[in-house]
Chains A and B, each alone.
Chain A
Amino acid sequence: MNLHPKGFLSSRAVVTDGRKQTGDGLAAVRVTHALLWQGTASSMVDLHPAGWENSHATGIDGKKQVGYADTMGKTGHAMLWESTAKSAIDLHPEGYERSQANGISGSLQVGTGILNGHNHALLWQGTARSTFDLQSLLPDGYENSEAAGIDELGNITGKAYDKINHRWNIILWQRIGGLLQK
């Protein structure tokens, strides 16, 4: 099924939950919009939030989508949508240089934020104020981390850089008894 929407220079679908698809498309040269489909090109919904130059959708679960928006010369912010552009919620945590949401399951979103020049895996529950730094659950010695996805049980996959052994390790943050643990 060709999902390419009319009026866009190019497009890509990057993730599906089995019913809907999300990704992005070039609305003009160097202008990318987050897009949502439900199986056909004509079903496309432009999720691009007002006030931003570019947006990208990277995750979907039912009626909600995550990704990020950015503007040239301005930092990128993690975004949460509920299937419309107007529904966009800025998840960017205060004090961070930039952020990006990569995955969503139910009411939880995961991604990455840059703080003092280092990536931190982040968890949100629908608002910027709910930001939780998943790197705080890792042992000393990790200086960068990223969260890539979250499943329906709240388990989070990602990676973290071990600065002692100079390597990236794959990390699973497991939800045990309502609490997240490494």
Chain B
Amino acid sequence: MQVGQASGQATNGDTHAVLWRSTIQSAVDLNPAGVNFSVALGCGGMQQVGVAHAGEPLVAAQIAP
């Protein structure tokens, strides 16, 4: 399992936390509802963690796909 962030047309230019399982096709957008910026920083077991914010400030998040 790998985590990080991505942005582009699919996210309207916003940065979204993303989860992969070793392939490009496996990408899952982890961005929580109501949030326009999220980044996944780590993963372990079935959990992913990172930061997200809909404005200010940045807040810690535990993200489920």
Question: Is B58 positioned at the interface, with any CB of A under 8 Å from its CB?
Answer: yes
Residue interface bits A1-39, CB-to-B below 8 A is 1, else 0: 111110001111111111101010110000000010101
- Which residues 5-42 of B have a CB within 8 angstroms of A? 41-42
- Which residues 39-53 of B have a CB within 8 angstroms of A? 41-52
Known: A21-B49, A23-B49. A13 touches B60 (CB 8 A): yes
- A10 in contact with B49 (CB, 8 Å): no
- A37 in contact with B60 (CB, 8 Å): yes
Closest residue of chain B to A39 (Cβ to Cβ) is B62
- A19 in contact with B59 (CB, 8 Å): no
Query: Is the contact region of chain A dominated by helix, strand, or loop, or is it mixed?
Result: strand
Closest residue of chain B to A14 (Cβ to Cβ) is B41
Chain B interface category by residue count: 20 to 34
- B60 in contact with A16 (CB, 8 Å): no
B59 contacts which chain A residues (CB < 8 A)?
Answer: 2-4, 10-12
B44 contacts which chain A residues (CB < 8 A)?
Answer: 15-18, 60
Give the distance to chain B from A103, nearest Cβ to Cβ, in Å: 11
The docked-state distance in angstroms from the alpha carbon of A21 to that of B63 is 11
- Which residues 51-68 of A have a CB within 8 angstroms of B? 60
Known: A3-B62, A21-B62, A39-B62. A16 touches B49 (CB 8 A): yes
B58 contacts which chain A residues (CB < 8 A)?
Answer: 10-12
- A1 in contact with B57 (CB, 8 Å): no
- B57 in contact with A10 (CB, 8 Å): yes
Closest residue of chain B to A23 (Cβ to Cβ) is B60
B41 contacts which chain A residues (CB < 8 A)?
Answer: 12-15, 23
B43 contacts which chain A residues (CB < 8 A)?
Answer: 16
The docked-state distance in angstroms from the alpha carbon of A14 to that of B3 is 11
A10 contacts which chain B residues (CB < 8 A)?
Answer: 56-59
- B61 in contact with A18 (CB, 8 Å): no
A60 contacts which chain B residues (CB < 8 A)?
Answer: 44
A9 contacts which chain B residues (CB < 8 A)?
Answer: 57
The docked-state distance in angstroms from the alpha carbon of A65 to that of B42 is 14
Give the distance to chain A from B29, nearest Cβ to Cβ, in Å: 17
Footprint of A on B, CB under 8 Å? 41-52, 56-64
Nearest 10 CB-CB pairs, A to B? Answer: A18-B45, A4-B59, A13-B49, A10-B57, A15-B42, A3-B60, A13-B60, A11-B60, A1-B62, A12-B51
